[in-house]
Structure 1
Amino acid sequence: MQSSGNSGFQRRRLAILLTGALASAFAHADTVLDTVEVTARGNPDGEFVLPEAATPATLYRVDREAMRLFDTPGGSNPYTSVAEVPGVKVTPVDAWGLNNSQGGQKGMRVRGEVSTHGVSGTVEGLTLGGPGPGPGYLFLFDKENLRQVDFAQGAIAADRGGLFNTSGALDSKLRWPQAKAGGEIGLSLGSDGFQRAFLRADSGRLASGTAFFFSASHTQADKWRGHGEAPGDRENIELGISQHFGKLDIDVLYARNDQAQHNYRGLTYAEARDLSTYRRADYGVDPSRSDYYDFNRQKFRNEALLANIRYAFSGDTSLSFKPFYAREKGKYLYEGSTAQQVQEWLLDHSTYGATAEFASRLAGTEVKFGHSWTSTEPPGPPTTRKLYKIVGGKLVFQRWALLSEVTDRHEFHSTYFTALRQFDRLKLSGSLRYARETLPAITAYDASTTTGASWDVSADAAADRATPVAARSVDSRSFGRWLPQLGASYQLTPLVELRVNAGQTIGGPSFDAFNQTPPAGFTSQWYWDQLKPEIATAIDIGARIRHDRFYLDPTVYYSRSKNKGVSAYDPATNTVWSQNVGKTEAFGFQLAAGWSPTTTLQLVSALSYSRSRFVEDMQTVGGAVLPVEGKQLPDVPKWMANLGAIWRYQGFTVAPMAQYVGKRWASSNYDQRVPGYWLADLTASYGRQTGWGRWTATVGVMNLFDRKYIGQISTSEINVNAGNRIFFPGAPRTLFASLNLGF
Structure 2
Amino acid sequence: MQTPGNSIFARRRLAVMLAGALSSGLSQAADTLLDSIEVTARGNPDAEIVQPDASTAATLYKVDREAMRQFDTPGGSNPYTAVAEVPGVKVTTLDAYGLNNSQGGQKGMRVRGEVVTHGAYGTVEGLALGGPGPGPGYLFLFDKENIRQVDIAQGPVNADRGGLFNNFGSLDTKLRWPEAVAGGEIGLAMGQSDFRRGFVRADSGRLATGSAFFVSASKTQAEKWRGTGDAPGDRNNVEIGFSQALGALKINLIYANNQQKQHSYRGLTYAEASDLDHYRNFDYSDNRQSADYYNYNRQEFRNQALLGEISYAFTPDTVFTFKPFYAREEGSYTYQGSAATQVMQWLIDHQSWGATGELRTRLAGTEFKLGHAWSTYAPPGPPTNQKMYNVASGEMVFTRWARLSRLTDRHEFHNTYLTAQHEFDALTLSGGIRHFRETLPGIIAYNAAATNGASWDVSAEEAAARASEDPTRSVDARTLTRWLPNLGASYKLNLAVELRVNVGRTVGNPSLDVFQSSAASVVRPGWNSIEPELATGIDIGARIRLSNAYLDPTFYYSRSKNKGVSVYDPALGQTYSQNVGKTAALGFQLAGGWSLSQSLQLVSALSYSRSTFTENVQTAAGTTLDVEGKQLPDVPRWMGNVGAIWRHQGFTVSPMVQYVGPRWVTSDYAYQVSGYWVTDLTAGYAQKTSWGRWSATVGVMNLFDRAYIGQISVSEISTGAGNRVLYPGAPRTVFAAVNLGF
- TM-score of the superposition, structure 1-length normalised? 0.92
Q: Distance in 1 between matches of 2:454 and 2:720?
A: 36
Displacement of 1:680: 0.5
Going from structure 1 to structure 2, the CA distance change for 1:213 and 1:132 (only over 3 Å counts) comes to same
What pairs up with 1:274-289 in 2 under 5 angstroms? 274-289=275-290
* Residues 328-343 of structure 1 aligned to structure 2 (within 5 Å): 328-343=329-344
CA distance in structure 2 between the aligned counterparts of 1:118 and 1:242, rounded to whole angstroms = 27
User: C-alpha offsets along residues 705-727 of structure 1, whole Å, 9 cap, x if unaligned?
Assistant: 0000000011379x999941111
Deviations 1:17-69 (A, max 9, x none): xxxxxxxxxxxxxxxxxxxxxxxxx9835311000001110000000000001
In structure 2, the residue matched to 1:100 is 101
**1:514 shift after superposition:** 1.1
Q: Does 1:349 align with 2:350?
A: yes
Measured against aligned partners, the alpha-carbon deviations of 1:91-131 in whole angstroms (never above 9, x if no partner) come to 00000001100001100000000012443200000000011
Asked if structure 1 preserves the Cα contact closer than 8 Å seen for 2:571 and 2:623, the reply is no
> Are 1:51 and 1:58, in contact at CA under 8 Å, matched by a contact in 2?
yes
Output the CA distance in 2 between the equivalents of 1:153 and 1:724: 31
- For structure 2, the 5+ residue unaligned runs are 1-42
Match of 1:320?
321
- The one-letter code sitting in structure 2 at the alignment partner of 1:352 is W
Contact (CA 8 Å) 2:610, 2:631: kept in 1 or not?
Answer: yes
- Deviation, 1:621, is 9.2
What secondary structure sits across from 2:295 in the alignment?
helix
Is residue 587 of structure 1 aligned with residue 586 of structure 2? Answer: yes
Where in structure 1 do 4 or more consecutive aligned residues deviate above 4 Å? 567-578, 620-624, 719-723
CA apart distance, 1:527:
2.5
SS at match of 1:159: coil
**What amino acid sits opposite 1:641 in the alignment?**
G
**CA–CA distance in 1 between the matches of 2:647 and 2:522?**
65
Deviations 1:278-315 (A, max 9, x none): 00000000000000000000000000000100000111
Match of 2:510 in 1: 509
Q: Secondary structure at the match of 2:629?
A: coil
Shift of the 212–603 alpha-carbon distance from structure 1 to 2, 3 Å rule, reads same
The separation in 1 between residues aligned to 2:464 and 2:668, in whole angstroms, is 42
Deviations 1:334-389 (A, max 9, x none): 00111111000000010100000000111101110000001001241211000001
Aligned residue identity for 1:372: A
Q: Distance in 2 between matches of 1:730 and 1:70?
A: 17
What displacement does 1:473 show?
Answer: 1.0
What letter matches 2:604 in structure 1? Answer: S
Amino acid at match of 1:455: W
**Rounded Cα–Cα distance in structure 1 between residues aligned with 2:710 and 2:569:** 33
Superposed, 1:728-739 pairs within 5 Å as 728-739=727-738
Deviation, 1:628, is 1.1
Distance, in Å, in 2 between the alignment partners of 1:336 and 1:436 is 37
- Give the structure 1 partner of residue 362 of structure 2: 361
- Is 2:184 the partner of 1:165? no
Q: Does 1:124 pair with 2:125?
A: yes
Q: Deviations over 1:498-520 (max 9, x none)?
A: 0000101111111011112555x
Q: d(CA) in 1 for partners of 2:704 and 2:676?
A: 12
Identify if the C-alpha distance between structure 1 residues 92 and 720 changes in structure 2 by more than 3 Å, giving closer, same or farther: closer
Equivalents in 2 of 1:699, 1:570: separation in Å? 48
In the other structure, the counterpart of 1:226 is: 227
Alignment of 1:328-727 (within 5 A): 328-517=329-518, 519=520, 524-566=523-565, 578-619=577-618, 623-715=622-714, 723-727=722-726
The residue matched to 2:557 in structure 1 has which SS? strand
Match in the other structure for 2:5? none
- Partner of 1:294, secondary structure, is helix
Q: Secondary structure at the match of 2:472?
A: helix
Deviates more, 1:589-598 or 1:522-531: 522-531
Aligned equivalents of 1:509, 1:349: Cα separation in 2: 19
Distance change (3 Å), C-alpha of 1:572 and 1:620: closer
2:353 and 2:483 mapped to 1: Cα distance?
A: 24
Structure 2 partner of 1:56? 57
1:702/1:575 Cα in 2 relative to 1: closer, same or farther (>3 Å)? Answer: closer
| AA in 1 matched with 2:491 | Y
Aligned mates of 1:607, 1:299 — CA distance in 2: 38
1:554-598 deviations in whole A, cap 9, x for unaligned?
Answer: 000001110112366999999997432210110100000000010
Secondary structure of the corresponding residue to residue 160 of structure 2: helix
Partner amino acid, structure 2, of 1:584 = T
The worse-fitting range, judged by mean Cα deviation, of 574-583 and 277-286 is: 574-583
Cα gap change, 1:227 to 1:511, in 2 (>3 Å): same
Distance 1:102 1:45, change over 3 A: same
Shift in Å, 1:618: 2.1
Report Cα offsets for 1:649-692 as digits up to 9, x if no partner: 10001100000111111122322111111110001000111121
- Residues in 2 aligned to 1:443 and 1:285: alpha-carbon distance in whole angstroms: 39
Deviations 1:620-653 (A, max 9, x none): 5975542211110111000001000001110001
Closer, same or farther in 2 for the Cα pair 1:622/1:476, shift >3 Å? closer
Corresponding residue number in structure 2 for 1:9: none
CA contact (8 A) 1:472 1:517 kept: no
Cα 1:716/1:239, change in 2 over 3 Å: closer
* Paired residue type of 1:73: P
Residues in 2 aligned to 1:479 and 1:575: alpha-carbon distance in whole angstroms: 27
Letter of the structure 2 residue corresponding to residue 363 of structure 1: A
Distance in 1 (CA, whole Å) between partners of 2:142 and 2:574 is: 43
Contact 2:578 2:619 in 1 (8 A): no
State whether residues 44 and 547 of structure 2, in contact with CA within 8 Å, keep that contact through their aligned partners in structure 1. no
Matched with 1:74 is: 75
In 2, the alpha carbon distance for the partners of 1:250 and 1:687 equals: 34
1:608–1:639 contact (8 Å) kept in structure 2: yes
Distance 2:146 2:668 in 1: 45
Query: Could you tell me which amino acid in structure 1 is paired with residue 179 of structure 2?
Result: Q
CA RMSD of aligned residues (A): 2.1
The aligned runs of 1:229-268 (5 Å cut-off) are 229-268=230-269
Corresponding residue SS for 2:349: strand
2: CA distance between counterparts of 1:533 and 1:677? 34
CA distance in 2: counterparts of 1:129 and 1:720, whole angstroms? 25
Query: Which range moves more in the overlay, 531-540 or 376-385?
Result: 376-385
Distance in structure 1 (CA, Å) of the matches to 2:266 and 2:719: 20
Matched with 1:136 is 137
Aligned residues: 700
Q: Distance in 2 between matches of 1:290 and 1:82?
A: 36
Q: Read off the aligned partner of 2:293 and give its amino acid letter.
A: Y
Distance 1:335 1:573 in 2: 21
In 2, Cα distance between equivalents of 1:493 and 1:577: 51
Q: Indicate conservation of the 8 Å contact 1:570/1:623, yes or no.
A: no
Contact 2:328 2:349 in 1 (8 A): yes
Q: Aligned equivalents of 2:260 and 2:570: distance in 1? A: 44
| In 1: Cα distance, 2:197 partner to 2:575 partner | 46
- What pairs up with 1:153-192 in 2 under 5 angstroms? 153-192=154-193
In structure 2, how many angstroms separate the alpha carbons of the residues matched to 1:73 and 1:83? Answer: 13
**Aligned counterpart, 2:202:** 201
Q: Which position in structure 1 is the counterpart of 2:8?
A: none
> Conserved in 1, the CA contact under 8 Å of 2:150 and 2:173?
yes
Per the alignment, do residues 289 and 710 of structure 1 end up closer, same or farther by CA in structure 2, a change over 3 Å counting?
same
Indicate how the Cα distance of structure 1 residues 420 and 45 shifts in structure 2: closer, same or farther if over 3 A, else same. Answer: farther
Whole-angstrom distance in 1 between the partners of 2:407 and 2:620: 31
Q: Could you say if the C-alpha distance between residues 61 and 55 of structure 1 is closer, same or farther in structure 2, counting changes exceeding 3 Å?
A: same
